[in-house]
């Protein structure tokens, strides 16, 4: 019977694929987390301000089971809860620094495994595989528009500094007419970050979407009590998703956890979108001064946030 053969074929593919991507072992990605726990952590890392009810609904998880997962995360110091201002019955869930570090390791490991999987295929084979995956998603989505992939925030890795320098140089030339001296400034900031990096007090976040870098920000030490926010950038293709706001929020949260008392940044008055993000995050303009830089007449601004 055709129906029986079709069902058998789908089940055969499911068995093959779950084995191939390694979801059967009890510890997913060679960790002590189950596949469900890793998925919950992924959602916490990639949502703005989720509640347990939202996660239960969107992931199709039993509320009681999800509650046990979140309670275990809380015991390990991975998750904090904040009372929702819009609904006092709900709590906003956020990954702590320890939770983000744990997820970053899992995410890197997952990317490496998928990279190894794809490396065994020719470029043509990779295209066929990805097209087939897209077809499956579209068909099983019931005709609904496939949801755009969420973005991911991660720490820097080899090659990211080159991307940060290149994209700052290209975008600021295209959008503001700044010359190569701005690219040189970005290169010096990135080089100093790598050469003098203090992991406990400094951090670079890269925003990634569909496997491509789409944003960056740095938090670096200025003094023992003051941190600097630097090199905030969001690609035009990823604007409007809240990535810039999220990057700044991560900087502020990390600065508090690292023991800083103030975060300072320097920008220019023509960068309207960035200035709105800083203002919304609570930064206050404390000084402005005209200057001639990067081939343009600009007004530099210093903003500060007391923690």
- Checking if the pLDDT of 53 tops 90, the result is no
Task: Give the burial class of 83: count Cβ atoms within 10 A of its Cβ; 0-12 exposed, 13-18 middle, 19 or more buried.
Answer: exposed
Pick from 16-25, 61-70, 97-106, 186-195: least confident: 16-25
* pLDDT digits 0-9 by tens, 284-295: 999 999 999 999
pLDDT at 21: 65
Structural domain boundaries, residue 269: 151-306
Q: How far apart are CA 96 and CA 100, in angstroms?
A: 6
In which residue are the tokens 């959602």 written?
43
In 10 A of CB 154, how many CB atoms?
19
In which residue are the tokens 């990390």 written?
254
Q: Does 146 map to a domain? A: no
| Same domain for 69 and 179 | no
In 10 A of CB 164, how many CB atoms?
25
pLDDT at 25: 58
Instruction: Give the predicted TM-score (pTM) of the model.
Output: 0.60
In 10 A of CB 114, how many CB atoms?
12
* pLDDT digits 0-9 by tens, 184-211: 999 999 999 999 999 999 999 999 988 8
Q: How far apart are CA 272 and CA 212, in angstroms?
A: 25
Q: How far apart are CA 55 and CA 63, in angstroms?
A: 9
Q: Does 91 map to a domain? A: yes
| Same domain for 169 and 130 | no
- Residue at which a domain ends, from 115, 140, 165: 140
* pLDDT digits 0-9 by tens, 6-15: 777 778 777 7
Q: What mean pLDDT do residues 149-153 have?
A: 77
- Residue at which a domain ends, from 140, 159, 180: 140
Q: Does 103 map to a domain? A: yes
Are 95 and 79 in contact by the 8 Å Cβ rule? The answer is yes
| Same domain for 163 and 297 | yes
| Same domain for 236 and 122 | no
Q: What mean pLDDT do residues 103-109 have?
A: 83
First to last CA, the chain: 68
- Residue at which a domain ends, from 140, 166, 199: 140
Mean pLDDT of the chain: 86
State how many domains the chain has.
2
Q: How far apart are CA 104 and CA 96, in angstroms?
A: 12
- Kindly state the tokens that stand for 23: 């979801």
Q: How far apart are CA 28 and CA 39, in angstroms?
A: 10
| Same domain for 124 and 44 | yes
């Amino acid at each position: 019977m055709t129906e029986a053969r079709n069902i058998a074929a789908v089940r055969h593919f499911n068995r093959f694929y779950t084995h191939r991507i390694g979801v059967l072992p009890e510890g997913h990605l060679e960790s002590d987390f189950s596949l469900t726990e890793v998925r919950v952590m992924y959602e916490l890392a990639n949502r703005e301000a989720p509640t347990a009810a939202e996660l239960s609904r969107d992931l199709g998880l039993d509320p009681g089971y999800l509650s046990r997962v979140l309670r275990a995360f809380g015991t390990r110091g991975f998750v904090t809860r904040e009372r929702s201002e819009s609904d006092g019955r709900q709590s906003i869930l956020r990954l702590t620094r320890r939770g983000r570090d744990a997820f970053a390791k899992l995410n890197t490991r997952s990317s490496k495994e998928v990279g190894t999987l794809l490396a065994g295929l020719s470029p043509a084979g990779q295209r066929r595989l990805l097209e087939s995956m897209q077809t499956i998603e579209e068909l099983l989505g019931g005709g609904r528009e496939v949801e755009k992939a969420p973005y991911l925030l991660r720490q820097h890795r080899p090659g990211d500094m080159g991307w940060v320098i290149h994209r700052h140089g290209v975008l600021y030339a295209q959008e503001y007419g700044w010359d190569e001296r701005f690219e040189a400034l970005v290169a010096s900031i990135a080089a100093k970050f790598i050469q003098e990096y203090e992991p406990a007090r400094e951090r670079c976040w890269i925003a990634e979407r569909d496997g491509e870098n789409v944003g960056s920000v740095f938090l670096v030490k200025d003094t023992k009590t003051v941190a600097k926010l630097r090199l905030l950038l969001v690609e035009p293709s990823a604007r409007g998703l809240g990535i810039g706001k999220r990057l700044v929020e991560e900087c502020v949260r990390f600065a508090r956890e690292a023991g800083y008392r103030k975060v300072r940044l320097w920008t220019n008055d023509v960068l309207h979108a960035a200035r709105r993000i800083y203002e919304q995050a609570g930064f206050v303009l404390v000084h402005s001064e005209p200057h001639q830089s990067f081939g343009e007449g600009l007004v530099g601004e210093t903003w500060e946030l007391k923690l």
